[in-house]
Structure 1
């Protein structure tokens, strides 16, 4: 049986890491540079110094029409036409509340004064800024929390290319040299699967113009949870934009009500404390079962403990939670269905199924049924076998009537720590 679990684990790990192993060359599905005329450059310059909403309006104006944007050649012009329509549509979809994002990265631009009748811009190389145009919170602010977002564009705003050609000492500072990477993180489903398997064994002439570098991140490569990392030789540190996980399922470890006492579970401050005594630890270990739980799409990183959700609301509502949101937070978002098998060398000796209610990300109350696979009354020919354990392998068994059961379940790592099956440092990898 252990070999079978190992095969399943290997297959799952291969699936979850396949994208990380395939290299970063196709993280970007499109990239190109284009230049704005003086009027649009002035509009964008003013917006960059005003705030998120003005930047969004300037971008909307820039990509509304390609007349005032120049590219290097006809091929690039044709590419830009399609690119412009994509970004324009994305900005419109964001206004409609759709899950997409345009990340604008820029250094602080300065007005260098008038030269030959034009205004020339300068750049503060020590200053780096980001605006994430995503869900609109209010008339002045956008929500930069990306949840399972697949459609992402990055726009790098910089001085005109000719400025860098005229000043070779600054050429390495060009934002267009920035590199896009995706760093995949382990999903809660994959993490809980690995843990539960382990438990089965117990300035120049064009200075008044700005240049845009347009980048479309390949949506097929975005697998939540992950980080979009923008690196540049001259950045003091990488820019990181997290795509948070929209979770649908986890593996958990359950214990039936007959093994639980009220004194085992308590709240201390903001923490849920579970403390079985030594005898109960042995009982829990002997009767625990592994279960797969399915629920409505859940934002793992913003899923609050029940007591906080009841009294404090949820950050995603920006302190404006209506009664429907309140009911969803304390009911539907927490209800799941589960099925499980016993954590033992003979895992199918017991089967479990039912509903559970999540108190926190890692702790739930279960209501369901358990079926025991019991030996039938029988006389079976076993030949020359003298070992009872070996003989029982030939005995006929069947599942009896399901017994109603109430219990609790944990994330596998929490269950292991509670029973002292591994240390905290072993769990963290330190």
Structure 2
């Protein structure tokens, strides 16, 4: 490892698109800086490129050079704790180690540093998103809402915690975390982390809380409005919604996912939370389900494009393609059909995706409603602060301060089945 492991790791992340995982050669501080730089570059790449084009012809450079210049510019513009000279020198040293043009890196970044602070985005769409996605969001949602999405995508994601109500209460958890160096404040029914790392606390190891975003929490809250006699969470990993359903009083609960490794993560989280009496199985709902038991409530949080959670996963906006959205929608329609076959007469199915693309949400549900006369939109007692749109579907819109976007639909099965 080089003498600058954080920047070396960030450069590797950008070049390979890999994860830090549990690299033993990185300290906690180096891992945090590597993640901050790499995620920041991905989040602000469009704006960084606009800034860099004032000083260099980016299109003439190879990918490694572009990533290196973006890394330096991000540190200069966004990381106050990193002096400009350290950002420039670090980038030049990286260029030297990777046989890149050190003179060009030095000259461009010195011009960036001397040109003054980056102005706030004038056009958040142009400075946040690839062109095709910006055009798509304007077409589907209108310019104002599309700009709100784009601004939310530029924010660092918030971390939210839900208390394990079998072991503690919310106010007690907040106080306990405070004594362990983590400051939180209430955001709806969840604790939002302000400072500190809750995943390194004794409270985490003791199972006093689990991590779940506000939109995921709301989706699980919809499922908890259904009959809880026999409940199935089809895509349960990493386990937040499954835990919420257990704490909500599900009497018999089955969690499943298509990957064994992901189900092992679910099991670890349940054990940490000291929750027992759940059945865990590996099942792929793109195939015929491996069981026939009629469930009173089914939750299908289907794999999707992830375009509603770009703040958490900024690389998605650079990897996504229009045809990929259509492929996701085809798989989602199959999964929804199979999941609905497991719902008992009078039972509830919640279908959700972390995307607001119409093909993955309303159009998937509309296809099931056309093909299955037993499927109808359910009228449920929805949770506080969650209301359906005029078409009966639930949408959680990204905006500054609330980064996640979700679609959800509540369906019931009539006796025609």
Which TM-score band applies after superposition, normalised by the shorter structure?
A: under 0.3
* Rg larger for: 1
Q: Return the structure number with greater strand share.
A: 1
TM-score where L is the length of structure 1: 0.23
